[in-house]
Structure 1
Amino acid sequence: MIRFESVTVRYPGAASPVLQDVTFEVAEGELCLVVGQTGAGKSTLLRAVNGLVPHFTGGTMAGRVLVDGRDTRTHRPRDLADVVGVVGQDPLAGFVTDTVEDELAYGMESLGLPPDVMRTRVEETLDLLGLAGVRGRPIASLSGGQQQRVAIGAVLTTHPRILVLDEPTSALDPQAAEEVLAALQRLVHDLGVTVLLAEHRLERVVQYADRVVLVRGTGDALEVGPPAQMMARSSVAPPVVALGRLAGWDPLPLSVRDARRMAGPLRERLAPMRPPVRTGVPRKPVSNGRRSVDTVDTVDTTDPVRTVATVHELTVRYGGRRSAQPPAVRDLTLDVAAGEVVALMGRNGAGKSTLLGSLVGLVRPVAGTVRVGRADPVGTVDPATAKPRAIARAVGLVPQDPGSLLYAETVAQECGQADRDFDAPAGSCARLLERLAPGVPPNRHPRDLSEGQRLCLALAVVLTGQPPLLLLDEPTRGLDYTAKARLTRIVRDLADAGHGVVFATHDVELVAEVATRVVVLADGEVVADGPVGSVVSASPTFAPQVAKILRPQPWLTVTDVAAALEPAS
């Protein structure tokens, strides 16, 4: 169905091709997973399948790509729309209508399908992706994860023979990700749909792949082979594979089930040991006026200097006080102390992004109070009423769409402007960016960066101001494991320096690595709050892979297991 023949792609101004002499084939009814580090060329590879490369991205392409026998050099994307469905990294960029139901129907209208067929497919897709409850909602009012599901659904309704997906589960909670991947499995196995998929969260998808395409980066040869074989060679691998490498398992397991069958001897070695405990700092427990909250006993702290955020009985309702919509956040009380790394978790639409927006003044509450920043020396501010410059000194937010923070023509200009805005020494932002994403070209336009590189640039811009409180909304979206490890180190450094960090995420592996505290939201309310180990280990949904493999022992990460085994090795 898809055939690459000696394909080389080079962008203007680049020192070397992003893809070089790529040759491989994807058969009908195959799920092929594309793996590689951020910026290695995965998105370029996917865009070449429907002709976006080079017809719309610019640059030059040698060789050819055949899709169901059609040459993308002579067939533009519109000529392939009946065969190829594409879901990009940024769902908002692909929407053409205002509401969920209209977006699901739009592609079928373009293909001229009968109304009764369209109606049936819309209903099936709403049920398949759990979107029936928001069918009439404006797309702009949905959470990032809900928007991601709408983007996938808009492609599925056209019943393409080939599906190309770039980070399809990046903004989805674990449950929604499982539903989407199960839907893709049914399309592959039952209908013979060919799926080419790039995903950084390999722990979610590698066990479903028929083959893996390993993109190593500029100038290096691309490899294609069975998943276990490619994971043994890959520099990016999920925790289950990393644990298998550490334990010397052969063959390497790709799923938790397979790993548990091999983990008996490892559990015996770890039985007398205990992992380190990340407690953060003493804090006040949260309270909630409507629902009992699962908390753990902590030492109370009333020192206002240590508090970087205080939320008291916050209620947010979109559309204002008289709106008929239920509150997005309801009667929520929460304190964040300096040195804490707080993970906000919960399914899509639980209120995580709304809470972050309230902390930075993007969302105005209908009730309750919010204060951010340190009481000493400059004092805290109310983000709903303070001036933008005062808010930026107290709190920084990297949103789900990092491009919304970027306005300059080049990476270098963006970094230079951040240094000036925050009165930072020249080069501060550039040095932060180099730590997060080494090798980003300073003369590249931010829109030409990969999703992961663009996120790193936005994060570097915000971190240049060294705000007492840092907010991150899905910070690992588009990041590979290497870039995520760099982000983890920076977050830990910030916490050690006395900054408070709050991040909303569906990435349970990131939570296991860096969080000192987990707050779980449901329907805008806090339903659990406590140390990371006690909250995520007890959850079948939010538990990381290592916890599932080594249960009932309390291990969360490969890093902790490696540290425990090191003295004995």
Structure 2
Amino acid sequence: MIRFSGVSVTYPEAALPALAGADFEVPEGELWLVVGPSGVGKSTLLGAVCGLVPHFSGGTLRGRVTVAGRDTRTHRPREMADVVGTVGQDPLGHFVTDTVEDELAYGMESLGLPRDTMRRRVEETLDLLGLHELRDRPLATLSGGQQQRVALGSVLTLHPRVLVLDEPTSALDPGAAEEVLAVLQRLVHDLGTTVLLAEHRLERVVQYADRVLLLPAPGAPPVVGDPAEVLSRSPVRPPVAELGALAGWRPLPLSVREARRRAGALRERLAGRRPAPPPGPAPGAAPLALARRLTVRRGGSEVLRGVELRVGPGETVALMGRNGAGKSTLLRALAGAHRPTAGSVELAGGVVPHRTPPARLVRHVGLVPQDPRDLLFAETVAAECAAADADAAAAGVPVAPGGCLALVARLLPEVPPGAHPRDLSEGQRLALALAVVLTSAPPLLLLDEPTRGLDYAAKARLVGVLRELAGRGHGVLLATHDVELAAEAAGRVVVLAEGEVVADGPTAEVVVASPAFAPQVAKVLGAGPWLTVPQVAAALEEA
């Protein structure tokens, strides 16, 4: 169905090809998972399938890519649309209409499908993806995860023979991600759809893959094979596989069920041991953020209702909940972007965010939004960092020369200072935006889906930075669907549902009590204190 024959892609002024030595064939009706560290060319490979590379991306493509017999060199993306459906990392860039239902119907209108066919497919897709209650909503009012489901639905209504998906579950809560993956499984098994999917959250998808295609490093040829065999030599792999490697299991497990069956001896070795407790807030210190009975209305609806929240110095709190629960709205209220309808928000020193000028507010709070382009405007990474250093100095924050660039080098060692932000992957742009915000060293740091598009190594570097910030007395509040990040970084978890706080407590208690939010290690080792592979590794070293 999909054939790459000696394919390489090179962009102007790039030191290495974005893709090299790609030679493989994806059969009809299989799901292939594309894995690899951030920035190794996964999005380039996916773009080559639908013709976006090189027709829209630029660069030079050598070799040949064919899909259902059509050569992408001679068929532009619009001429592939009836065969290949593509959903990229940025759902907003995918939309061409204003409401959910119109977006689902637009592609079919472009192909001239009969009206009764369009109506039936729209209804089917609304039900498949749990979007029926959102059908009349403006796209701009949806959460990031809801927008991602709409983007996927707008492609599914066309009934393509091939689906190309770039990070399809990155902004979805665990329940919604499972629903989307179940839909993909149904398409593959029942309809023979071919799916090529890139995803950093391998713990969600690897057990469904027929084959894994690994891009091990920039400029290195792809490696294709059985999922367990390829992951055994992959630089990125999910926690369940890392736990298997630590325990010496061969082949590596791909699912929690498979690992649990082999974990008896490991449980015995850990019996009677407990991980080190996570750092907590400084005792008796005044809060860095305090929300009292906070209510926020947007678009005629109450997005937050009576929220009580306190974040103290030295504390890292994970804010979790399904898509549309109000997580982003709460972060933006703390950052002064939303005025409370009722209740109040205060930062340290009695600062009221929505009444405080931005030049003063930056000394109290920093927000990294889901879309990093809201913060990035310069032509190079180095220029972004120079501007961040200057802004911090103007706000009265002492910054060492090159402070932002040094942080970028730590978070993104593979990115040169001269790179243009638009040429970075989604995860790399997020890390750059984080460095820009951290340059001002705000006492309170707000992160909205900070691991979207990050591989496991980049996520580990981020966790290290957050721990250092907490150790220096900063407070961190991160909204995330990444249960593994919450287990690694947060000492406390707050769960929102329908705009209300429904759980607030220590991470180990809150996440283990919920099958949706429990990390893979907790599921494998059963009810107990173990949440992450590093915790288990530290305990085994002490044994």
Kept in 1: contact 2:21–2:220 (CA 8 A): no
Kept in 2: contact 1:231–1:237 (CA 8 A): yes
Structure 1 unaligned segments of length 5 or more: list them.
284-300
Kept in 1: contact 2:389–2:403 (CA 8 A): yes
Kept in 2: contact 1:278–1:531 (CA 8 A): no
Aligned amino acid, residue 367 of structure 1 = A
Residue number in structure 2 paired with 1:440: 415
Q: Secondary structure at the match of 1:170?
A: coil
Aligned amino acid, residue 160 of structure 1 = P
Taking the TM superposition and a 5 Å limit, the aligned residue runs for 1:363-378 are 363-372=338-347, 374-375=348-349
1:406 and 2:376 correspond: yes
Taking the TM superposition and a 5 Å limit, the aligned residue runs for 1:548-563 are 548-563=523-538
Aligned amino acid, residue 510 of structure 1 = L
Aligned amino acid, residue 401 of structure 1 = D
User: 2:492, 2:419 → 1: CA distance?
Assistant: 38
Kept in 2: contact 1:279–1:517 (CA 8 A): no
**Offset, 1:381:** 1.9
Residue number in structure 1 paired with 2:515: 540
Aligned amino acid, residue 316 of structure 2 = V
Residue number in structure 1 paired with 2:362: 392
User: 1:369, 1:66 → 2: CA distance?
Assistant: 58
Q: Secondary structure at the match of 2:232?
A: helix
**Offset, 1:553:** 2.7
Q: Secondary structure at the match of 2:509?
A: helix
Cα deviation digits, residues 385-407 of structure 1 (max 9, x gap): 11111111111111010111101
Cα deviation digits, residues 156-193 of structure 1 (max 9, x gap): 01100000000000000000000000000000000000
1:460 and 2:435 correspond: yes
**Offset, 1:431:** 0.6
Residue number in structure 2 paired with 1:498: 473
Cα deviation digits, residues 17-45 of structure 1 (max 9, x gap): 11112111111001000000000110000
1:97 and 2:72 correspond: no
Kept in 2: contact 1:271–1:553 (CA 8 A): no
Residue number in structure 1 paired with 2:386: 416
**Offset, 1:554:** 2.1
Residue number in structure 2 paired with 1:298: none
Taking the TM superposition and a 5 Å limit, the aligned residue runs for 1:98-113 are 98-113=98-113
1:120 and 2:120 correspond: yes
User: 2:310, 2:527 → 1: CA distance?
Assistant: 31
**Offset, 1:382:** 1.3
Cα deviation digits, residues 65-94 of structure 1 (max 9, x gap): 111111111111011001000000000001
**Offset, 1:279:** 4.8
1:278 and 2:253 correspond: no
Aligned amino acid, residue 192 of structure 1 = G
Cα deviation digits, residues 53-75 of structure 1 (max 9, x gap): 11111111111111111111111
Identical residues among aligned pairs (%): 68
Kept in 1: contact 2:512–2:518 (CA 8 A): yes
Residue number in structure 2 paired with 1:290: none
Kept in 2: contact 1:19–1:217 (CA 8 A): no
1:478 and 2:450 correspond: no
1:246 and 2:246 correspond: yes
Q: Secondary structure at the match of 2:317?
A: strand
Aligned amino acid, residue 311 of structure 1 = A
Residue number in structure 2 paired with 1:351: 326
Kept in 1: contact 2:282–2:313 (CA 8 A): no
What is the TM-score normalised by the length of structure 2?
A: 0.98
1:524 and 2:485 correspond: no
User: 1:534, 1:31 → 2: CA distance?
Assistant: 36
User: 1:82, 1:132 → 2: CA distance?
Assistant: 25
User: 1:554, 1:366 → 2: CA distance?
Assistant: 40
User: 2:524, 2:308 → 1: CA distance?
Assistant: 35
Kept in 1: contact 2:40–2:219 (CA 8 A): no
User: 2:22, 2:496 → 1: CA distance?
Assistant: 45
User: 2:75, 2:363 → 1: CA distance?
Assistant: 51
Residue number in structure 1 paired with 2:298: 318
Q: Secondary structure at the match of 1:506?
A: coil
**Offset, 1:425:** 2.6
RMSD: 1.0
- 1:341 aligned to 308, 311, 316, which one? 316
Residue number in structure 1 paired with 2:17: 17
User: 1:494, 1:9 → 2: CA distance?
Assistant: 40
**Offset, 1:104:** 0.5
Residue number in structure 1 paired with 2:396: none
**Offset, 1:439:** 2.2
Residue number in structure 2 paired with 1:154: 154
Kept in 1: contact 2:31–2:209 (CA 8 A): yes
User: 1:247, 1:48 → 2: CA distance?
Assistant: 39
Aligned amino acid, residue 162 of structure 2 = I
Q: Secondary structure at the match of 1:433?
A: helix
**Offset, 1:552:** 2.3
Cα deviation digits, residues 242-285 of structure 1 (max 9, x gap): 000000111211000000100011111111211222151267xx
Aligned amino acid, residue 143 of structure 1 = S
Cα deviation digits, residues 307-359 of structure 1 (max 9, x gap): 1111111100113xxx3x2x100011211100000000000011100000101
Aligned amino acid, residue 411 of structure 2 = L
**Offset, 1:539:** 0.8
1:83 and 2:63 correspond: no
Q: Secondary structure at the match of 2:158?
A: coil
Residue number in structure 2 paired with 1:309: 289
What is the TM-score normalised by the length of structure 1?
A: 0.93
How many residues matched? 538
Q: Secondary structure at the match of 2:146?
A: helix
Aligned amino acid, residue 371 of structure 1 = E
User: 2:528, 2:314 → 1: CA distance?
Assistant: 27
Q: Secondary structure at the match of 1:533?
A: helix
Kept in 1: contact 2:279–2:314 (CA 8 A): no
Kept in 2: contact 1:383–1:391 (CA 8 A): yes
User: 1:105, 1:219 → 2: CA distance?
Assistant: 40
User: 2:542, 2:342 → 1: CA distance?
Assistant: 54
Structure 1 runs (4+) deviating above 3 angstroms are none
